[in-house]
């Protein structure tokens, strides 16, 4: 079973994808975290994120295996626990530079497909399968997935969710501070992936007025 979930920032993808994986005994792959890890790795290597060729080379050498347990998403890169570093607003503001790098995309695509194929044979899920989430999973990474979902939400709902998650509340100040991490980033990211409109065969679920459980149930009903 392969479940592909795409959507913009703050659509609730990660929360929902982890729950779907847990409920069905599947592995969970957060592809956004792979782009974040690549940004962290290049930055630590002293590479200018605008130097596309150098960032691509660094990504190819990145000693990184993504965590696949939906209950333990600890990211370790070269012996360093980067779990919280890759969620820092300062990294969120620059990660798009890495996400629009086509050389990086090709390398991470190769790694993502490798993980997904391994889960069909065995791996963390013992062959049960995987929930993979990101921006181009339904369209590029595994368009042949058994379940393909585009999870959307209004800009207002997405900003409020991310503000609570990153800054602890959804006050006007927190929402304004979050705007650059969401709206501007999605604009940059959408130059390389289409994740605001569903491709043929992809089911759109608008989570603006739904609870997490309702979204999980909606996905379950597609299986």
Binding-site sequence positions: 7-15
Question: 203 forms bridges with which residues in the sheet?
Answer: 149
Q: Which stretch binds ligand DC (CB under 6 A): 74-82, 118-126, 133-141, 148-156?
A: 133-141
Are 34 and 112 spatial neighbours (Cβ–Cβ below 8 Å)? yes
Residue placing its CB nearer to ligand DC in the complex, 105 or 210: 105
How far apart are alpha carbons 58 and 37 in whole angstroms? Answer: 11
The two three-digit tokens of residue 207, written as one number: 């989570």
Are 100 and 192 spatial neighbours (Cβ–Cβ below 8 Å)? yes
Residue placing its CB nearer to ligand DC in the complex, 154 or 193: 193
* C-alpha to C-alpha distances, 110 to 34, 101, 141, nearest whole angstrom: 12, 14, 9
162 contributes a contact to ligand DC by CB under 6 A: no
CB of 198 to ligand DC, least distance (A): 15
32 contributes a contact to ligand DC by CB under 6 A: yes
59 contributes a contact to ligand DC by CB under 6 A: no
- Of 104, 178, 189, 215, the one binding ligand DC by CB under 6 A: 189
How far apart are alpha carbons 135 and 192 in whole angstroms? Answer: 9
Q: Is 183 left (phi over 0), alpha (psi -120 to 50) or beta?
A: alpha
56 contributes a contact to ligand DC by CB under 6 A: no
- Of 95, 149, 175, 216, the one binding ligand DC by CB under 6 A: 95
CB of 185 to ligand DC, least distance (A): 5
Mapped onto helix, strand or coil, the DSSP state of residue 135 is coil
CB of 89 to ligand DC, least distance (A): 12
How far apart are alpha carbons 11 and 196 in whole angstroms? Answer: 11
Packing angle between helix 13-24 and helix 212-220, nearest 10 degrees? 50
- Of 134, 152, 198, 216, the one binding ligand DC by CB under 6 A: 134
Q: Annotated binding site for ATP: which residue ranges?
A: 7-15
Residue placing its CB nearer to ligand DC in the complex, 96 or 125: 96
Contacts of 23 (CB under 8 A, 6+ apart): 216, 220
7 contributes a contact to ligand DC by CB under 6 A: no
136 contributes a contact to ligand DC by CB under 6 A: yes
Q: Kindly list the residues in this chain that would bind ligand DC in the complex (CB under 6 A).
A: 9, 31-33, 35-36, 95-96, 99, 134-137, 185, 189, 193
């Amino acid at each position: 079973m392969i479940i592909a979930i795409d959507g913009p920032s703050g659509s609730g993808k990660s929360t929902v994808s982890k729950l779907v994986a847990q409920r069905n005994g599947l592995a969970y792959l957060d592809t956004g975290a792979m782009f974040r890890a690549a940004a962290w790795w290049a930055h630590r290597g002293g590479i200018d994120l605008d130097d596309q060729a150098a960032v691509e080379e660094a990504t190819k050498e990145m000693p990184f295996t993504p965590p696949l347990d939906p209950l333990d998403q600890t990211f370790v890169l070269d012996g360093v626990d980067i779990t919280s570093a890759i969620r820092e607003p300062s990294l969120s503001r620059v990660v798009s530079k890495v996400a629009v790098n086509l050389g990086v995309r090709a390398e991470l695509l190769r790694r993502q497909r490798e993980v997904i194929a391994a889960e069909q044979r065995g791996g963390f899920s013992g062959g049960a399968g995987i929930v993979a989430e990101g921006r181009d999973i339904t369209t590029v990474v595994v368009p042949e997935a058994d379940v393909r979902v585009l999870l959307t939400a209004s800009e207002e709902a997405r900003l409020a969710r991310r503000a609570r998650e990153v800054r602890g509340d959804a006050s006007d100040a927190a929402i304004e501070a979050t705007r650059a991490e969401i709206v501007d980033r999605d604009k940059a990211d959408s130059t390389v992936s289409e994740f605001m409109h569903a491709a043929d065969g992809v089911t759109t679920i608008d989570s603006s007025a739904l609870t997490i459980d309702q979204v999980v149930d909606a996905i379950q009903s597609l299986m």
